[in-house]
Amino acid sequence: MYPAPFRYHRPASLEAAIGLLGKFGDEASIMAGGQSLIPMMKLRMGDACEVIDIGRLPDLSFVEIRDGMLCIGALSTHASIAASEAAARIPLVQEAGGGIADRQIRSMGTIGGGLSVADPSGCWPTSLRTLKTSVQVRGPAGARSIAIADFIQDSYVTTLQPGELVTEIRIPLPAANTGSAYVAFKRTAAAYPTVSCGMELVMDGQTCTSASIVLGAAGPMAVLCAAAEQALVGREVTETSLGEAAELIVAASDPPADARGSAAFKRAMLKTLVLEAGRRSLARSRGEQVKGGHRYA
C-alpha cells in the first residue's frame, strides 16, 4: 500500500526541527532512520501529514564514554552501536544493537527512533530498561533528563511533550564484577522478538549483591518483578536460583497470543531466556569473554 499524501521537511539544525514540531503540532511525525515510521505510513496507521526528517542533523550521532557514562547520540544507528568499542563496556547494549533485524535495518535505524516508538516488542525499550538509563530530550522549554522508567508510559506512549525530541541516551558504566546480557527469541532475523530478556548482575565473590531482570514482548510494557530480583540477591547465582527467579518474573508477565505464538509458548520461551541471560551475565561478571546472540526458530 502507498502512504497517504504528506509534506517532507529536512531541517538543518535541532532548533529548526523543534520549531517545525511546534508549528505543525499533532500533524507532525519525526523520521530518524525511518525503519518504523515508513512501514506504518505504508499501512496508513496514524496521520503523518508533515514528515520532519532529522536523520542528517549534526552532532546527534556518537557513542562515547563521558563522565563515567556511556553516552549515545539519538541518531546513532544500531550497527554503529554494535560495532563500538565504547559500547563494549556494557555487553547488553552491544547485543541489543547487533541483534536488531537485518544488516540493512541496523545500518539505517537509530536508537533514538527505536526508543521513542516505545514498541513493547522492541529491543531498546527492553534492554535499556534493564540498566539505569536516562533519556536526554530537548524541546521549546529547553533540555531535561528523564529516567527510562518514567520515559515509557505505555505501549507506543512516551512522556515526550509537544515539540520535544530525544537527543541522547546515557548509561552509567558498570561497577567491577558486573555482568549483563540481552537475548531475544526470534522467528527470523528481520522479525521483532517473539520474547526477550535483559539481565544485569553485580557480584561480590559468589554472592549476588544486585540484580536487574526485564522481559520484553511479554506485556504492554517491559515486565519487571522485584520478587524475582530478590530471589538472586544475597545468594549464589546457580541454575536453581535462576530457575526460581525465572518462575517469579514469568508469572508476572502477560504475553499476548498472536502470530508469533501462544501465551503458553511465550512463557516457556521466557523461562529459557532468563536462564540464558543469567548464565551469560554471571560469566561476564567473572571477566569471561562470552559471545552472545539471539536465538532463532
Q: How far is CA 164 from the centre of its chain?
A: 19
What ranges in the chain are assigned the alpha helix state H?
Answer: 14-24, 37-42, 78-82, 91-98, 103-108, 111-117, 123-130, 148-151, 226-230, 239-251, 263-285
Does 157 share its domain with 183? no
Of 297, 293, 295, nearest to 99 (Cα)?
Answer: 293
Q: How far is CA 227 from the centre of its chain?
A: 23
57 part of a folded domain: no
Does 288 share its domain with 197? yes
Domain end, chosen from 157, 172, 187, is at 172
User: Going residue by residue through the chain (297 aa), what tens digit of pLDDT does each one get?
Assistant: 677 788 889 999 999 999 998 888 888 888 887 767 777 777 676 667 888 899 888 889 999 999 999 999 999 999 999 999 999 999 999 999 999 988 888 999 999 999 999 999 999 999 999 999 999 999 999 999 999 999 999 999 999 998 899 999 999 999 999 999 999 999 988 888 999 999 999 999 999 999 999 999 999 999 999 999 999 999 999 999 999 999 999 999 999 999 999 999 999 999 999 999 999 999 999 999 998 888 887
How many whole angstroms separate alpha carbon 49 and alpha carbon 45? 12
Domain end, chosen from 172, 196, 226, is at 172
Range of the domain at 276: 178-296
Angle, vertex CA 258, rays to CA 271 and CA 246, nearest 5: 10
204 part of a folded domain: yes
**Integer distance in angstroms from the first to the last C-alpha of the chain?**
29
Does 155 share its domain with 191? no
210 burial level (CB within 10 Å; 0-12, 13-18, 19+): middle
How many whole angstroms separate alpha carbon 60 and alpha carbon 54? 10
Residue 155 belongs to domain with CATH number:
3.30.465.10
Please enumerate in sequence order all residues whose Cβ is within 8 A of that of 182, keeping only pairs 6 or more positions apart, or say none. 92, 93, 95, 96, 99, 123, 126, 127, 130, 196, 197, 198, 199, 277, 292
